[in-house]
Structure 1
Amino acid sequence: MTDHAPHTSVSDDLAAAFQIEGWPVRGRLVRLGAAIDKILAAHAYPEPVAALLGEACALAALIGSSLKFEGRLLVQAQGDGPVRYVVADYGTDGSLRGYCRYDEAEVAEASGGFARPGARSLLGQGVFIMTLDRGPDFDRRDALG
């Protein structure tokens, strides 16, 4: 006799808040599957660049999914390192886009034998910006870091 579990459809893409009862602990988690696969498949990013873009997209989805209004959250970093520009764009409708501009030779050099150099090694000195776009009826709000 063979037991068959009912098939349940679970999305690879998930953003959820959580709270641990009885403890002053609350948080948010995000899991990207098909959404990040689609973004990364559109370009042949080297592994360190793909990892950086994945982190930016996860950050955008993590924060953007908690917005209490319809709009978009853009996470951007621009620097003088091997990765010149990374952007992740999360819409409160669940849409996600991302892109990196980089120098392939400089990325390989920055890796220096490591599979995944950190964001600081890849971006160098520069700026980090998060922009809230509430649509055409509101001014955009930037947070520069």
Structure 2
Amino acid sequence: MSGRVSLEAVDDDRVFPFQIEGEAVRGRLVRLGPAVDEILSAHAYPDPVANLLGETCALAALVGSNLKFEGRLIVQAQGNGPVRYVVCDYDTAGSLRGYCRFDPEEVAGLVAGFQRPGARALLGDGLFMMTVDQGPDMDRYQGVTAIEGETLALCAEQ
């Protein structure tokens, strides 16, 4: 057996933890298919907005799948740019919900000047938040940082 896996044989909507033997390297990969397709097809998102929401969903799935309790992880960003906010809610049962609010005319104007605008260009000045909700009997925990960089992953590192 060659050890190769056909991509067609891998189910979509999966998180794959990995570790490199003999090294202090561990991580997770996420593959979203039907779940993110359903979220994105529910609204007529322009490509840059859909990309931002897709990134938010992937980030929520990556971080949320690592939670060791039953609850939710909410990843959101809000700003004064063409995209007013983006939010994705991941629960430990594996469900994912996401939504964006944006101004179509402002997004169209921004796209004219950029090949592929990122988080900072789309959201403008604002905040990135990750909220851990462990249920009604526990306090929520929230991390908040300024939107910096052109990916939400850079914000999450802060």
Match of 1:50 in 2: 50
For residues 69 and 46 of structure 1, the distance between their equivalents in structure 2, rounded to whole angstroms, comes to: 36
Residues 17-96 of structure 1: pairs in structure 2 closer than 5 A? 17-96=17-96
Q: Deviations over 1:12-42 (max 9, x none)?
A: 1111210011122111111100000000111
Match of 1:97 in 2: 97
* Secondary structure of residue in 2 paired with 1:23: coil
For residues 10 and 20 of structure 2, the distance between their equivalents in structure 1, rounded to whole angstroms, comes to: 23
State the TM-score, normalized to the length of structure 1. Answer: 0.91
Larger displacement relative to structure 2 (9-18 or 24-33) = 9-18
Q: Give, in angstroms, the shift of residue 137 of structure 1.
A: 1.1
Q: Deviations over 1:92-129 (max 9, x none)?
A: 00000000000001001111253421110000000111
For residues 107 and 80 of structure 1, the distance between their equivalents in structure 2, rounded to whole angstroms, comes to: 12
Percent of pairs with identical residues: 69
Kindly indicate whether the alpha-carbon contact (under 8 Å) linking 1:86 and 1:100 is maintained by their aligned counterparts in 2.
Answer: yes
Consecutive unaligned residues in structure 2, runs of 5 or more = 1-7, 146-158
For residues 81 and 114 of structure 1, the distance between their equivalents in structure 2, rounded to whole angstroms, comes to: 14
State the TM-score, normalized to the length of structure 2. Answer: 0.84
For residues 104 and 133 of structure 1, the distance between their equivalents in structure 2, rounded to whole angstroms, comes to: 32
For residues 58 and 76 of structure 1, the distance between their equivalents in structure 2, rounded to whole angstroms, comes to: 12
Match of 1:13 in 2: 13
Q: Aligned letter for 1:99? A: Y
Consecutive unaligned residues in structure 1, runs of 5 or more = 1-7
For residues 122 and 12 of structure 1, the distance between their equivalents in structure 2, rounded to whole angstroms, comes to: 28
